[in-house]
Amino acid sequence: MNAHRQLCIGFSLSATWMKGHGWRRPDSGVERMSSIDYYIELAKLAEKAKLDFLFRADYLYVSPQMLGDSANFGSPDPTMIFAAIARETERIGLVTTISTTFNPPYVVARQLQSLHWLSNGRAGWNIVTSIEGAENFGMAAMPSPEERYARASEFTDIVRKLWASFPHEAVLIDRESGQFTDPKQVSPIDHSGEFYNVQGPLTLPAHPSGNIPLFQAGASDIGRNFASSVADAIFAAMPDMESGIELRHDLRRRAEELGRDPNAIRILPGLYFFLADTREKAQGLFEAANAHLSTERRLASLKSVLGLDLSGFSLDHRVTEDLLPDPDQPVRSRTHAELLRRYIINHQPTVAEVLSRPEVLGSAHWVSVGTVEDVLNDIIQRYEAGAIDGFIALPGGSEQSMELFFEQLMPRLVELGLFRSEYSGSTLKEHLGIS
């Protein structure tokens, strides 16, 4: 175990404990999901536990799953949610999600710098290229992954240039001379590229805490190249430890080849945990969370994710490499498709095992089910194996999972020296150890 570096831990504000039929529990509190006060309460719980940051995903389209039998109050703009939370918290980081495919870079640079000022240096940007939603933005279809990542690279470069175009040092506030800012330090960026033309400078100065940390979740080959080139932290898709070790090693290697310090990036999977005082109760929560996903829905999901139709096979039939479709065919998520392909090639699982994979059930999160000690040991095992630098906490099943996380699991991590007992800084950069 690394004695010099503690875990980096974030908390998702996406009410994952109400997925599936969790919202139907009498104690779910689902009616409160429409109130900002609910998310402020969660934010304060996470800050009390001294977590590094809060995270909120974003969706710019309405899928059938959103309107089905799972709890969903839509997808409000996460940056606006964090603007409200910024006024009610003091230390915890606020990582918002903004797409580079559907937004102008100047607007995004301004929004993020505004959140950075509102939170006094706690903003973070989760860069996404989006996989659906083109029709909501005047596009006939989604651009190819290659184009989306090319846009994202240029977009991110522009945003960074805009942040630098009006440095904090340009603000003089010199009453004696009457000079408020130094115009010589504020300059246009005059960017002319393949996708964007942006003059600049930005309309507000940089925050004195410095650059806004960047997060990314690319796990396909092209996504890994982008993530390793820009991200301070990477939201890794790792449903099992084997894929986690491979991904973390590969991302660190790519970062080093690009001239970056591999220790400067943090690999953070989503940890979707189901906690209870017994393993049987925890397993019950897990099964209830997925009970709405019939075999037919899972087969349809598999076809969407991988392009593989297993509807004609029995559940105990072995899925071998020769059954896999062309890897170049269009799929909903190339990241999930590649994870599933690798799993099938390496393990020749049964149809039932494939249909129980996280990628098919709705995500590629690391799932851990059991008591506090079970999940704690799972975290320690992955950390010691070199698969993770931390995780995003995604409580599952019921609010009890979240309560046990804050009341018992986090204190155990602190006792073991794997997490801080107090904040040592007040900005997201300081929490992440970014110089």
pLDDT for the residue numbered 66: 57
Of 73 and 92, the structure prediction assigns the larger pLDDT to: 92
pLDDT for the residue numbered 280: 96
Mean pLDDT over each residue of the chain, to the nearest integer? 91
pLDDT for the residue numbered 293: 77
pTM for the whole thing?
0.89
pLDDT for the residue numbered 1: 42
Q: What is the pLDDT of residues 37-53, one digit of tens each?
A: 999 999 999 999 999 99
What is the Cα 345 distance to its own chain's centre?
27
**What's the whole-number mean pLDDT along residues 132-152?**
94
pLDDT for the residue numbered 403: 96
CA dihedral sign of residues 253, 258, 264, 265: negative
pLDDT for the residue numbered 289: 83
pLDDT for the residue numbered 2: 45
Q: What is the pLDDT of residues 203-238, one digit of tens each?
A: 999 999 999 999 999 778 899 999 999 999 999 888
pLDDT for the residue numbered 243: 84
Which two tokens mark 62?
Answer: 């309405």
Of 383 and 335, the structure prediction assigns the larger pLDDT to: 383
**Which residues partner with 367 through β-bridges?**
272
Is the per-residue pLDDT at 110 higher than 90? yes
Q: What is the pLDDT of residues 166-189, one digit of tens each?
A: 999 999 999 999 999 999 999 999
Which is nearest to 403 in space by CA: 53, 54, 42?
Answer: 42
Task: Give percent of the chain above pLDDT 90.
Answer: 66
pLDDT for the residue numbered 3: 46
Would you say 124 and 53 are in contact if contact means Cβ atoms under 8 Å apart? Answer: yes
Is the per-residue pLDDT at 398 higher than 70? yes
CA distance 328 to 221: 13
**Region for residue 432 given its phi and psi (left: phi exceeds 0; alpha: psi -120 to 50; beta: otherwise):** alpha
Task: Give percent of the chain above pLDDT 70.
Answer: 94
Is the per-residue pLDDT at 200 higher than 90? yes
Q: How many CB atoms lie within 10 A of CB 171?
A: 17
pLDDT for the residue numbered 235: 92
Predicted confidence band of residue 26 (pLDDT cuts 50, 70, 90): confident
Q: What is the pLDDT of residues 353-380, one digit of tens each?
A: 888 887 676 677 888 999 999 999 999 9
**What's the whole-number mean pLDDT along residues 129-142?**
92
**What's the whole-number mean pLDDT along residues 67-81?**
74
Q: What is the pLDDT of residues 91-105, one digit of tens each?
A: 999 999 999 999 999
pLDDT for the residue numbered 65: 61
